[in-house]
């Protein structure tokens, strides 16, 4: 795990969707508004996994607890050659159970963001300029999930793969930030937040905005996606 020291970080953004791209691509919400207002937040020290949980690690969990396997597993077995790929098709409840079984927990949304962007408010884990060579995004050319730790140059100040490859569950419900005037129908205890962007296929799913450290997305906790995984956190 990576130790993230106590202290302030810059959370959210004040970006404006000047081009109305959200409308162009049929977005369920205007882009950026749920990231407003940008503000400083203090967090106590915590630890976060350096990598996402892999298929091999999740296999150990389902064998030990007799939990249901992801749909991508064949007769409770990891697909050959994908042992070191992030586990996906895991809903929020299953991710939460895994973390507790491992003596950890899911990271809060704020913890995830601080670990991803550091204390200097960077827009991507590695800096402020998008670079499709530093992550597995829709325009990176891989066309599938790749093994964890494949993009050393794309690391945040300690953790790997916090942008691209697979999205990651957080502990929190989708809620407005303090001081926000934005009202979204899914705010409240309806959907859980996931972060980081997945490899995403083609088209608008490869837009850089999805891979920013501040971008928020959410679905009901009982749902699961083929490019949605998780990592765990822990308090000292």
Position 37 scores a pLDDT of 97
* Model confidence at 27: pLDDT above 80: no
45-70 confidence digits (pLDDT tens): 999 999 999 999 999 999 999 999 99
Looking at every residue in the chain, the average pLDDT score rounds to 92
CATH number of the domain that residue 171 is part of: 3.90.1580.10
Distance CA 124, CA 130 (A): 7
Average pLDDT over residues 116-130: 95
- What is residue 42's three-state secondary structure? strand
pTM, two decimal places: 0.93
Mean pLDDT across the stretch 213-233? 96
Using DSSP bridges, classify how beta strands 7-11 and 39-43 pair: parallel, antiparallel or unpaired. Answer: antiparallel
Residue 18 binned pLDDT confidence (cut-offs 50, 70, 90): low
Q: Measure the CA–CA gap between 138 and 16, rounded to whole angstroms.
A: 23
3-state secondary structure of 77: strand
Residue 83 has pLDDT above 50, yes or no: yes
Query: What CA–CA distance (Å, rounded) separates 173 from 151?
Result: 30
Average pLDDT, integer, range 132-156: 94
Give residues with Cβ within 8 angstroms of 98, minimum separation 6.
53, 58, 61, 90, 230, 232
pLDDT higher than 80, residue 172: yes
Q: Give the β-pairing of 233-234 and 46-48.
A: antiparallel
Please check the confidence at residue 201 and state whether its pLDDT lies above 60: no
The predicted pLDDT at position 200 comes to: 75
Please state which of the ranges 17-21, 91-95, 151-155, 166-170 shows the lowest mean pLDDT.
17-21
> DSSP code of 131?
-
Domain coverage including residue 181? 2-234
C-alpha span between 184 and 191 (Å, rounded): 12
Q: Is the confidence at residue 205, as pLDDT, over 80?
A: no
What b/e string do you get for 167-189 counting C-beta neighbours within 10 Å, with b at 16 or more?
A: bbbbbbbbbebeebeeebeebee
Residue 16 pLDDT grade (very low, low, confident, very high; cuts 50, 70, 90): confident
Contacts 24+ apart (CB under 8 A), 124-130: 124/154, 124/163, 124/211, 124/212, 124/213, 125/154, 125/155, 125/156, 125/159, 125/162, 125/163, 125/213, 126/153, 126/154, 126/155, 126/156, 130/208, 130/211
Predicted pLDDT at 31: 81
* Number of compact structural domains in the chain: 1
Q: Residue 17: which pLDDT band, with cuts at 50, 70 and 90?
A: confident
Say what percent of the chain tops pLDDT 70: 92
Backbone angles phi, psi at 152, to 5 degrees: -60, -35
- With vertex at residue 109, the alpha carbon angle to CA 168 and CA 59, rounded to the nearest 5 degrees, is 35
pLDDT band at 202 (very low <50, low <70, confident <90, very high): very low
Nearest of 226, 191, 20, 5 to residue 92 by alpha carbon: 191
Nearest alpha carbon to residue 98 among 167, 168, 151: 168
pLDDT at 6 over 90: yes
């Amino acid at each position: 795990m990576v130790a993230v020291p106590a202290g302030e970080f810059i959370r959210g953004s004040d970006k404006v969707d000047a081009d109305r791209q959200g409308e162009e691509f049929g977005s369920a919400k205007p882009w950026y508004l749920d990231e407003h207002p940008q503000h400083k937040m203090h967090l106590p020290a915590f630890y976060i996994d350096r990598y996402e949980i892999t298929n091999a690690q999740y296999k150990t969990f389902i064998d030990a607890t007799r939990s249901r396997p992801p749909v991508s597993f064949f007769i409770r077995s990891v697909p050959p050659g994908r042992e070191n790929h992030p586990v996906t098709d895991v809903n929020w409840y299953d991710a939460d159970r895994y973390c507790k079984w491992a003596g950890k927990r899911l990271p809060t949304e704020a913890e995830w963001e601080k670990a991803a962007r550091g204390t200097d408010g960077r827009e991507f884990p590695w800096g402020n300029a998008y670079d499709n060579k530093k992550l597995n995004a829709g325009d990176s050319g891989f066309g599938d999930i790749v093994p964890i730790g494949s993009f050393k140059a794309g690391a945040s100040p300690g953790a790997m793969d916090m942008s691209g490859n697979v999205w990651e569950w957080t502990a929190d419900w989708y809620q407005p930030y303090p001081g926000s005037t934005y009202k979204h129908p899914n705010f409240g205890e309806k959907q859980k937040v996931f972060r980081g962007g997945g490899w995403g296929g083609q088209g608008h799913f490869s837009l850089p905005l999805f891979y920013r450290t501040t971008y928020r997305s959410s679905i009901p906790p009982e749902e699961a996606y083929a490019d949605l995984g998780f990592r765990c956190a822990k308090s000292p």
